[in-house]
């Protein structure tokens, strides 16, 4: 028969208890870290969802605003591709939206050439009169404003033109 002294048994129990407490502290710390990370992840997901919803709302609002404007709006990128072309532009120039969007600005006839030259010269226009021939051959008396949108480095990324038609008023 083996006899354990009460001292060695108590020491073993104290060592086991200390080991258990350390393990418990490590597990508690890990759970705390995982909990904080989980809460952070949920907060980020929520913020992204709110941001996405706000972005969608702004996009929808901006699209409706552009589509419902009485003036023609055309936005062109640095390669001369049409990014934005509203209904008023379609009515004015006679080029269907499906044809104009993603086409070269030259698709818009004389007006396209006018916009292209102004972009190449990095020249903004403010209500500049323009007598242009539409792609269907009609002569148009227009007022063209062109704004150049630049990136952080000052390089032009997009040109946005707002075009007013004065053909009927000038004919009177």
- pLDDT score of 4 more than 60: no
Element (DSSP H or E) covering residue 55: helix 6-68
- Report the percent of the chain where pLDDT is more than 90: 55
State the Cα–Cα distance between residues 79 and 154, nearest whole angstrom. Answer: 17
- Residues 6+ positions from 81 with CB-CB distance below 8 Å: 102, 103, 104, 105
As a whole number of angstroms, the distance between CA 104 and CA 81 comes to 5
Q: How far apart are CA 129 and CA 140, in angstroms?
A: 10
Q: Is the pLDDT of residue 90 over 80?
A: yes
pLDDT digits (tens, 9 = 90+) for 60-84: 777 777 777 889 999 999 899 999 9
| Spatial separation of the C-alpha atoms in residues 44 and 125, rounded to whole Å | 43
- Any idea which of 10-14, 72-76, 82-86, 163-167 has the lowest mean pLDDT? 10-14
The tens digit of pLDDT for each residue in 112-145 reads: 888 888 888 889 999 999 999 888 888 999 999 9
Round to whole Å and give the CA distance between 97 and 86.
7
Give me the mean pLDDT over the 1-19 stretch. 75
The least confident of 3-7, 11-15, 18-22, 167-171 is 3-7
């Amino acid at each position: 028969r083996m006899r354990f002294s009460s001292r060695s048994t108590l020491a073993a129990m104290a060592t086991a208890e200390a080991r258990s407490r350390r393990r418990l502290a490590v597990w508690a710390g890990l759970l705390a870290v995982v909990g904080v990370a989980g809460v952070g992840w949920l907060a980020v997901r929520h913020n992204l969802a709110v941001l996405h919803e706000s972005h969608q709302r702004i996009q929808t609002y901006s699209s409706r605003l552009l589509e419902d404007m009485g003036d023609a709006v055309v936005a062109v990128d640095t390669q001369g591709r049409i990014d934005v072309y509203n209904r008023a532009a379609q009515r004015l120039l006679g080029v269907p939206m499906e044809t104009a969007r993603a086409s070269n600005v030259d698709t818009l006839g004389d007006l396209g050439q006018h916009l292209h030259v102004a972009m190449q010269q990095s020249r903004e226009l403010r209500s500049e009169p323009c007598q242009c021939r539409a792609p269907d051959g009609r002569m148009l008396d227009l007022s063209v404003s062109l704004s150049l949108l630049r990136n952080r480095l000052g390089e032009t990324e997009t040109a946005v033109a707002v075009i007013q038609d004065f053909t009927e008023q000038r004919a009177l």
